Amino acid sequence: MRAGVGWKHGAVGHARTGADRESPTGSAFQTGEPVISNHLEDETRIRTPDVLREHGIGRAINLLIQGEGQPCGVLGVDSPTDGRLSTQTFVA
């Protein structure tokens, strides 16, 4: 995690998630498809990273950031509140 707001001291700049397909970040990076979960506690497609569990995160969306000719990262938006995230959340 390179940047973030609302995380406990020490998480930003140090927290890491997996790069494998079972990780929401890794799955988005490897497939190029958004990974959306509005109920992480019930999720079976992906595992919830420890840092999200430790912060009480209940829903998350991970989107590939495409660079020039290759992926350059993943944007993750996480929330501890109830509600619904979708790709439309990010359409301006």
3-class DSSP assignment, residue 18: coil
Q: Please, what are the domains in the chain?
A: 24-80 (3.30.450.340)
Where are the extended beta strands (E) located within 1-92?
Answer: 35-37, 59-66, 71-79
Digit-coded pLDDT (tens) for 9-64: 999 989 888 889 999 999 999 999 999 999 999 999 999 999 999 999 999 999 99
pLDDT value, residue 20: 93
Going by the DSSP 8-state scheme, the letter that residue 21 receives in this structure is T
Q: 85 pLDDT band (50/70/90 cuts)?
A: confident
